[in-house]
């Protein structure tokens, strides 16, 4: 109880300092940003959620849709509010887009179902529009399509440079955003179930470590998305690696030079919030568990600070996790990593900072053995990690409730003052009349 009261007092102080008392569009169910915060219908919005890249793919087979429903049902029961998933599958087996501009209606109906089902469970979606990697086609498939049309391309990174390839991508964006949902009767660009679009899952351009290629591509594509859809938020899909705009911070990167720039890329006006991913068990696989956790602490602190000071935008930890395939793995290690991530988000959120949520990788339902990658969480298995996840949902919801109560008190006081003003005015009018 003392902790709850102290938290309430701290939040009131912060709100009075105008960290969160800002006027935002209310009542339309779209998630908005204002300064370093997300808002939903006038209240702060915190995104405790998960990744489930497989949702559209599984839902394209009507007999498998109960798995999607079960995942959303379990997620909602644990207080999760956001899911990040793929709105792409280019070429290959059971694609969404089987050739540039040509689409598989059955796969699109799978995505329609995912959006409708998320809405049913009051879960917002972040939909990613392309992949950096070869799985589900990725930039390699786009480049191969252009090659088959006579374009001379020497690298998969030509995805970011070639006008024909960029035209294919822009057409895909336009097609997805203008899609009419066969379940909801609503165009995707008008559906508040969608929290945000993501330009690409983990864009990388190793052929240009200066970062100029990715910077130009994000600027062009952010402008394209916003020309079609002004309702939704947009993020780039970045992992968070520092680049040339902050050379002194490149020492914080794991030893990867991939042509992105956390600061410059997220300063682009059309990008509404920043993202960061964190996989110390992959990036620092030869290092000790303790060193990996130390890296995680520093990595998160730096990005949360930069979101507040340099970007002045919210930040979402859009991917994190720990694999049971790691040598010497035990569940305590995974819980420890989740707790570090969640505590960073919680302390930032409760002190008016920009960290607004985390999405673990990845959520599965029962009976999905072929999708297991080592990082999966099956909430119905009731692991200790599932409890850690549910506790974080509860803590962030407490912050939201305290703000909402305070906002309602303010509204009541304003309404009472108005009524009193009206009563005094009528009284004075009566005396004058006499």
Q: What is the pLDDT along the chain (434 residues), one digit of tens a residue?
A: 444 444 554 554 444 443 444 444 457 999 999 999 999 998 899 999 999 999 999 999 999 999 999 999 999 999 999 999 999 999 999 999 999 999 999 999 999 999 999 999 999 999 999 999 999 999 999 999 999 999 999 999 999 999 999 999 999 999 999 999 999 999 999 999 999 999 999 999 999 999 999 999 999 999 999 999 999 999 999 999 999 999 999 999 998 889 999 999 999 999 999 999 999 999 999 999 999 999 999 999 999 999 999 999 999 999 999 999 999 999 999 999 999 999 999 999 999 999 999 999 999 999 999 999 999 999 999 889 999 999 999 999 999 888 888 777 777 777 777 777 665 555 544 443 43
The residues near 429 (Cβ < 8 Å, ≥ 6 apart) are none
pTM for this prediction = 0.90
The pLDDT of residue 427 is 53
Give the separation between CA 49 and CA 402, rounded to whole angstroms. 21
Q: What is the DSSP secondary structure assignment for residue 372, as one 8-state letter?
A: -
Give the separation between CA 26 and CA 40, rounded to whole angstroms. 7
The pLDDT of residue 16 is 40
Longest dimension (CA), the chain: 92
Burial classification of residue 329, based on how many CB atoms lie within 10 Å of its CB (0-12 exposed, 13-18 middle, 19 or more buried): middle
Q: Which residues are catalytic?
A: 202, 319
The pLDDT of residue 421 is 64
The pLDDT of residue 262 is 98
The pLDDT of residue 13 is 44
**CA dihedral in degrees (90, 94, 97, 98; nearest 10)?**
90
Tokens of 309: 């000071």
Token pair 């990008």 is at which residue? Answer: 271
The pLDDT of residue 418 is 76
Give the separation between CA 183 and CA 165, rounded to whole angstroms. 31
SS3 102: strand
- The domains found in the chain, sorted by start residue, are 31-414 (3.20.20.80)
Q: In 3D, which of 289, 246, 238, 304 has the Cα closest to residue 266?
A: 238
Tokens of 203: 């864009």
Q: What count of residues does the chain have?
A: 434
| C-alpha 283, offset from chain centre | 21
**Residue 336 CA: distances (Å) to CA of 88, 279, 289, 293:** 33, 14, 11, 9
Q: In 3D, which of 151, 176, 219, 101 has the Cα closest to residue 143?
A: 151
The pLDDT of residue 198 is 98
């Amino acid at each position: 109880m003392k902790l709850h009261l102290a938290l309430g007092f701290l939040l009131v102080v912060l709100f009075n300092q105008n960290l969160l008392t800002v006027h935002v569009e209310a009542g339309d169910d779209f998630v908005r940003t204002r300064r370093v915060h997300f808002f939903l219908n006038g209240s702060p919005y915190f995104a405790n959620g998960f990744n489930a890249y497989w949702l559209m793919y599984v839902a394209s087979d009507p007999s498998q849709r109960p798995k999607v429903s079960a995942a959303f049902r379990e997620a909602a029961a644990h207080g999760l509010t956001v899911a990040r998933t793929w709105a792409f599958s280019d070429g290959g087996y059971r694609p969404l887009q089987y050739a540039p501009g040509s689409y598989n209606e059955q796969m699109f109906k799978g995505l329609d179902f995912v959006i409708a089902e998320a809405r049913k469970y009051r879960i917002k979606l972040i939909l990613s529009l392309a992949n950096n990697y070869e799985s589900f086609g990725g930039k390699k498939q786009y480049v191969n399509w252009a090659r088959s049309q006579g374009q001379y391309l020497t690298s998969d990174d030509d995805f970011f440079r070639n006008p024909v390839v960029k035209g294919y991508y822009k057409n895909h964006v336009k097609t997805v955003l203008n899609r009419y949902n066969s379940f909801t009767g609503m165009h995707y660009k008008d559906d508040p179930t969608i929290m945000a679009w993501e330009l690409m899952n983990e864009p990388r351009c190793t052929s240009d470590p200066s970062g100029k290629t990715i910077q130009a591509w994000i600027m062009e594509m952010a402008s394209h998305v916003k020309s079609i859809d002004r309702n939704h938020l947009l993020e780039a899909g970045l992992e968070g690696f520092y680049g040339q705009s902050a050379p002194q911070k490149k020492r914080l990167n794991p030893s990867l030079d991939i042509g992105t720039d956390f600061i410059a890329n997220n300063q682009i006006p059309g990008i509404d919030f920043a993202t960061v991913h964190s996989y110390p068990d992959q990036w620092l696989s030869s290092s000790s568990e303790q060193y990996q956790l130390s890296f995680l602490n520093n990595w998160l602190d730096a990005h949360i600070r930069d979101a507040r000071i340099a970007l002045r935008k919210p930040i979402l930890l859009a991917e994190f996790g720990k694999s049971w395939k790691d040598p010497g793995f035990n569940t305590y290690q995974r819980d420890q990593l989740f707790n570090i991530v969640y505590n960073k988000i919680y302390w930032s959120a409760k002190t008016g900072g920009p960290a607004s949520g985390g999405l673990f990788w990845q959520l599965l339902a029962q009976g999905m053995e072929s999708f297991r990658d080592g990082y999966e969480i099956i909430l119905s298995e009731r692991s200790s990690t599932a409890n850690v996840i549910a506790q974080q949902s509860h803590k962030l919801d407490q912050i939201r409730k305290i703000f909402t109560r305070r906002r309602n008190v303010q509204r009541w006081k304003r309404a009472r003052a108005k009524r009193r003003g009206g009563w005094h005015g009528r009284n004075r009018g009566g005396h004058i009349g006499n």
